[in-house]
Amino acid sequence: MTTNIQAYLLELEDIPGTRVYTTKRARAGYWLNQFAMSLMKEENRKRWLADEKTYLEDWPMTDAQKQALLARDYNRLLDLGGNIYYLAKVFSTDGLSFLQAVSTMTGMSVEDYQNMMIAGGRSPDGVRSKKEGN
Amino acid sequence: MARITAGVATSHVPAIGAAMDLGKTQEEYWKPVFKGYEWTRNWILEPENRPDVVILVFNDHATAFDMNLIPTFAIGCADEFKPADEGWGPRKVPIVKNDADFAWHIAQSCILDEFDMTIVNKMDVDHGLTVPLSLMFNQPQAWPCKVIPLAVNVVTYPPPTGNRCYNLGKAIRRAVESYPEDLNVQVWGTGGMSHQLQGPRAGLINAEWDQRFLDDLSADAERLKNIPHIEYLRETGSEGIEMVMWLVMRGALGDNAAELHRHYHVPASNSAVGHIVLKCNS
């Protein structure tokens, strides 16, 4: 089975409110994500929390990536090549759960987001495709 | 000869592991999640069901593998694997013991069968592997069986297709059936079901789609193996793609499988929890 890769990649960009972690994003976010991996060590977590700006000096990221990290702007970080499982090291170091951190990307309060999940989650209706509007 | 007797699939939500580790399983929020595993916890320890070896298909969540190395299919061949420190210190669960001779046999057999497996020795295992063990076996001092970890890349696109995963399952079956030791082997598929952990669309759940997927694991596996990535993404959220790992399990069961038990609950954290036990019918 062969796949038309251009068509495949175009479809991945057609989903509302979603950044699929494509090779293009992975390449742009390489150092951002490798920085995040460094926070899996306790000594690095301590150093990061003590002085975030100085810690970032060791990592060849873009200024935009560094600003988004300092602001904990997770949607922006996804745009700049971050992947959620890597960014999880950042919010875990902040003491946030997946649910708490994920809710910040939705424009909802943690409480409203949690209640939405308990009520069955977000329906796929209306958010399947930008093109189809369904 | 070694033989595959059953397949198990389950979500591997990290918060489920945390709920067990922190003694929260009797809280109202968590009770219905764990209730659906009681059947399996009894079934799996019956002498005729109890596996000698579990081939556990999971994905690493930026733990053992970072952006430096992204194997599509990796099989753990060392004698043991330690629970990983994912940012809060390692889970206090037993070390995972492998049947390394058998793992190496499967690696060799799959490679000769044209599945180019990556062989891994040093690999700390994260919630993707340890949460399913906790769900099936609760909190023992040592895991009651050997575990062969099989990691699938579902993080960096493109992950393997559903069809490729299904066919890897078939290759694993041939590998198991060519191993001379008398072993009861189960294959577990983990991850899913619908969930999205990123962006403004986070929190997506599609119970109807998930239930059809559970139905067709026994009724129509041919349909499932042909589901394209874009359908998982649109219908089940960006992390719903983990369900391709269930198809490795399903492929390993042969043409026919019968459903023994099913559990579905929303939510655990951001995810729909799905669980199924299938028996080989051939």
Domain extents in chain B: 3-280
pLDDT of residue B173: 98
Q: What is the pLDDT, as a whole number, of residue B282? A: 60
Tell me if A114 is assigned to some domain.
no
- Answer yes or no: is pLDDT of A64 > 80: yes
d(CA A94, CA B68): 25
Residue A56 counted as domain residue: yes
Q: Is the CB of residue A23 less than 8 Å away from at least one CB of chain B?
A: yes
Of B127, B263, B265, B275, the active-site residue reads B127
- For B112, the token pair is 């000769």
Q: The domain B3-280 belongs to what CATH superfamily?
A: LigB-like (3.40.830.10)
CB contact under 8 A, A102 and B158: no
Structural domain includes residue A134: no
The Cα of B158 is separated from the nearest Cα of chain A by a number of Å equal to: 7
pTM of the predicted model as reported, rounded to 2 decimal places = 0.97
The first and second tokens of residue B147, run together, are: 């575990």
In a domain, A122, yes or no: no
Domain limits at A66?
A: 18-94
| Active site (annotated) includes residue B12 | no
Arithmetic mean of pLDDT, A12-27: 98
Other beta carbons within 10 angstroms of residue B245's beta carbon come to 29
Domain assignment of residue A11, yes or no: no
Per residue in B153-204, pLDDT (tens digit) is 999 999 999 999 999 999 999 999 999 999 999 999 999 999 999 999 999 9
Count of the separate structural domains present in chain A: 1
Q: Do B87 and A19 touch (CB under 8 A)?
A: no
ipTM of this predicted structure: 0.96
**Structure tokens that stand for B272 in this block:** 């729909």
pLDDT of residue B281: 82
Mean pLDDT by 10 residues, chain B (282 residues): 97 97 97 98 97 98 96 98 90 98 98 98 98 98 98 98 98 98 98 98 98 98 98 98 98 97 98 97 71
CA–CA separation, B77 vs B148, rounded Å?
Answer: 7
3-state DSSP call for residue A31? Answer: helix
Average pLDDT over residues A52-70: 98
Q: List the single residue in B with minimal CA-CA distance to A118.
A: B267
In a domain, A9, yes or no: no
pLDDT given at position A1: 62
B61 is catalytic: no
pLDDT reported for residue B86: 86
Q: Kindly list the residues from chain B whose CB atom is less than 8 angstroms away from the CB atom of residue A7.
A: none
Q: Which of B61, B105, B195, B265 is catalytic?
A: B195
CATH number at residue A53: 1.10.700.10
